[in-house]
Amino acid sequence: MDRLCDEVVQLIFYELIDPGPLTLVSKRFYRFSQDPYVRAHYFLTHYGPAEAMFYALGRGKVLTERVLDILLMSGAHLSRYLIQVAMHHYFYTQSHFIKTPWVRNVPLRVFTYFMKLAEEMYGEIPRGKGEDDGSVFSNFLKESRLLPGMKSISWESIRDILKEYNFMPFSTRDPIMAQFPLALAIEPRLLPYAVENGFQMDSKYRDFVFRKMFERPTSTSETVAEDIAHNIQELCRLDSTMFVSRTVAAEVCMEAKLNPTGYAALKQLDKSGHLRFELSGLVEDLIKTFIRTRSISTSHIIENLRLLYTDFPSSDPTARLVILITIFIASENLHSSPSAIQTKLEALSLTPVTRKDVFDVLASPFVDRYNTLLDYAKREIVERDDGTKGMGSNEIEEVVEEVASKCLEVACKGKLLKKLCDGYISVRNVIATTILKKYQLALEDLPTRGNEDACRVFEAKLCRDFMKFGLFEPKGKESEVPRPSAAEDEGDGLVEVNNEVVAMERDDDASMSLFNSRWFSNLGHEQGRITQESLTTMIRRDEISPVRPRRRMQYPGGLYFDSSAKLPYPNDPLAVGRWIKTEFGPRSSVTAVFMTHAVVNDNHSILHQYLYYADGVQPISTTNHVPITFKHFQILAHLDRAPNYYLYHDIELGAEFYRDTNDYLKADTGKQSSGGKAVKMETTPPILLSTARESLDSPPSVPRGRKRPRRVASNVRSYVVPDSDDEAIANSDDLTTKPKNVETTLQTWLRHLDELMKQELRKLKEKRKQIELVSEPGTKVRVAKGEFLKSLSSNLRALHKIAKERQLKLYGPTVVPEEYSDNEDDDDEYRHRTARNKRKKTNRSS
């Protein structure tokens, strides 16, 4: 450090937040820090010209008359507002936002010189309370919404304090710093004077300024659309970086009906060419965002969307479908007649409505009633070449069956399915046939085990957890692997909305092709993202945000006040899986398919319904319990996914062991067919699960066909010594009979799960050997366990411990329970080991 030249040491000083400790290192550094030039330029370089004087006044010990002179001559900004605040703070006359001693540490001699320089620059300075430039500026903002005759401060007064007295917020901690852009929204002609004082418009303030310019005027205000458009044009002319973004324009459109003045000004800017985008395209993109949010069913949103579509008609099929959905939702609420609906559709140029439109509307996640739509279809839809109106009963029934089949994959459409099933007799059989034919999962249907990426992103089509992930794919889940070809892809199409990967519902039939549109990928993010927030909501959010700009942040889309309206599932939904169990029973083949899909998708809510426990311990009723099978664990092992906790908990409570669903379905069929009467499995579900509960207080349930051992006093010890008269007793066996160690259902599960774990461990070792073959000699290869193996090993240890305790409780210590496993193929962490006492070695010579 001593060999460095003064220029390098000076640069080091400028980078330090507090150079004080460095000045104590050596006398050279101390002498160097006493130079007024170094002190002055430290504040200029470290804090910039705008804040240099503010921070210099806070370092009273280093501030001298010479330092003040160098600061002013070197370009430090000194406004009359800063002088007024410093005087108030120094003499304790007014409490500002500053809570530290700040300028009070400056010696009186130096501060007197500072006031002398201020008087030379600005002459007589107002010092009264409320007379400082900051208070005048704040009052100007407060009066911005008053009538011109009621304002006490004109914009010329603000222009003078900007032009003559260099008014500017002197610190990022000054509350006026966050309010300063608001003055530009009120009066754009102030921008040139602010720029001369060093103001630079940050992009994060740009939307705030234009929001305030488009803000809905009060009832007493005389603001008209032409004034708003003129102010915006003037502001954009004065600063080329200022422009109305798509975000602000969409917010204005969101309250077009409530704020007609701002909406009219936006349309004027579009006609005059002062927007960097086409307003018609923006409205189209905005309308299409409602295809996936529950706000589409809100009354005020419906009216606003109709107004936008009337002003900017669109030929896009998705935008057209959104408007159709809003019309039929509102008509269902109002019980409108088919003729009234036809009038509304003709006014919006949405006719003719086709059979495909009926299907698309009913397949929407937010439509749960069908009466009004089908009544309209029976009277107004033209389906025949001769031009006659109305769909026949057979055609209506075909559409209903197609909708029911489609709604199986939309996890929140349970209400509509229930109503369709009650209204049309054929729907129930169609649902059962479709599920058993199309959605049964076998190990052969899963991705190959070696394709880890495909296994990781695989998702069953039924029982998606929409309460957790919505009706679409979790963010970024499918973006990690390449999409399959069109011939192989039978899943859901992916689209991108606001940098969020989502999946639109997809069907093999061309009738749902509009849900596969890729319009989301081109929303013009460089001009701002489109959200469904209204202008008023965003203005309130800006006003309550922290006043310090350094704490302001760009909030991601969808995290604003009314976030519930942006949820991608309807209000008060009924899960399809829950309705399936109620309709077909827990022991039906249809419910078994849904159970498998729920296990694969880890749908916690559906598993809770299928394995429902009233008190968290014991099933509320065996008739409401859907059995779990060993095949469920095999599927999860194939996909390398951790089983849900409910599966292990069900085994602990005494769930019967079944290899697959056919085990208990065949048993139920045999029971139902006995006596010469065959009963449908879906209508009368049999009871198979034992109500006995395995716990420490009661013996565990045992498999059917085996007798339960009697509990006898096998461990009573007798101290009577037999004599010659008791030879018969002495030579005979014990009076008590030792109970047999009968395998319980828990032990059956453990036996099969142990074998499954051995298989997984062998595959893990084979994988490690394959990696070792291609690795360099001597390389120590470590293969991490998968999620399934980690979960199984930890939970099996707990289940084995429970089984052992129950065996001891039931049979006593005379029966030795089976150990976990001591096979060399087992995992070291899972293998049972006997603890050994280790003696501590001692040095005898000591």
Mean pLDDT, residues 470-498 taken together: 38
Residue the block writes with tokens 């004027």: 268
How many whole angstroms separate alpha carbon 40 and alpha carbon 14?
A: 10
How many whole angstroms separate alpha carbon 408 and alpha carbon 286?
A: 29
Would you place residue 253 in the very low, low, confident or very high pLDDT band (cuts 50, 70, 90)?
Answer: very high
pLDDT at 716: 43
Would you place residue 593 in the very low, low, confident or very high pLDDT band (cuts 50, 70, 90)?
Answer: very high
Residue with more model confidence, 382 or 146: 146
Tell me, rounded to whole angstroms, the distance of Cα 31 from its chain centroid.
58
Task: Give how far Cα 770 sits from Cα of 210, 454, 824, Å.
Answer: 63, 21, 20
pLDDT surpassing 80 at residue 188: yes
Model pLDDT for residues 39-92, shown as the tens digit of each residue: 999 999 999 999 999 999 999 888 999 999 999 999 999 999 999 999 999 998
Residue with more model confidence, 363 or 220: 363
pLDDT at 764: 87
DSSP 3-state of 495: strand
How many whole angstroms separate alpha carbon 370 and alpha carbon 421?
A: 12
Q: Which long-range contacts (CB under 8 A, 24 or more apart) does 591-595 make?
A: 591/626, 592/626, 592/661, 592/665, 593/435, 593/436, 593/439, 593/440, 593/441, 593/462, 594/435, 594/462, 594/463, 595/626, 595/628, 595/632, 595/661
> In sequence order, what are the residues at sequence separation of 6 or more whose Cβ sits closer than 8 angstroms to the Cβ of residue 614?
620
Lowest mean pLDDT among 33-42, 208-217, 548-557, 785-794: 548-557
DSSP 3-state of 735: coil
Q: 323-355 burial string, b = 16+ CB within 10 Å, else e? A: bbbbbbbbbbeeebebeebbebbeeeebeebeb
pLDDT surpassing 80 at residue 576: yes
Mean pLDDT, residues 337-342 taken together: 91
pLDDT surpassing 50 at residue 520: no
Domain boundaries, the chain: 35-171+182-198, 201-277+524-548, 293-440+472-479+494-522
Model pLDDT for residues 681-708, shown as the tens digit of each residue: 333 333 333 333 333 233 344 443 444 4
pLDDT at 741: 63
DSSP string for 584-621: H-TTSHHHHHHHHHHHHHT-HHHHHHHT-BSSSSSBS-
Residue with more model confidence, 27 or 829: 27
Q: How many CB atoms lie within 10 A of CB 150?
A: 9
How many whole angstroms separate alpha carbon 211 and alpha carbon 528?
A: 14
pLDDT at 94: 80
DSSP, res 429: H
Would you place residue 667 in the very low, low, confident or very high pLDDT band (cuts 50, 70, 90)?
Answer: low
Asked if 535 and 244 count as a contact pair (C-beta separation under 8 A), the reply is no
Q: Percent helix, strand, coil in the chain (nearest 5)?
A: 55, 0, 45
Q: What percent of the chain has pLDDT over 70?
A: 75
pLDDT at 330: 92
pTM beyond 0.85: no
Residue with more model confidence, 173 or 257: 257
How many whole angstroms separate alpha carbon 79 and alpha carbon 522?
A: 47
Q: What percent of the chain has pLDDT over 90?
A: 32
Model pLDDT for residues 797-840, shown as the tens digit of each residue: 999 998 888 888 877 775 554 544 444 444 444 444 444 444 54
pLDDT at 2: 62
pLDDT surpassing 90 at residue 723: no
pLDDT surpassing 90 at residue 164: yes
Tell which phi-psi region holds residue 123, choosing left (phi > 0), alpha (psi between -120 and 50) or beta: left
How many whole angstroms separate alpha carbon 559 and alpha carbon 108?
A: 51
Which residues lie across from 607 on neighbouring strands? none
Backbone angles phi, psi at 500, to 5 degrees: -120, 125
Asked if 136 and 160 count as a contact pair (C-beta separation under 8 A), the reply is no
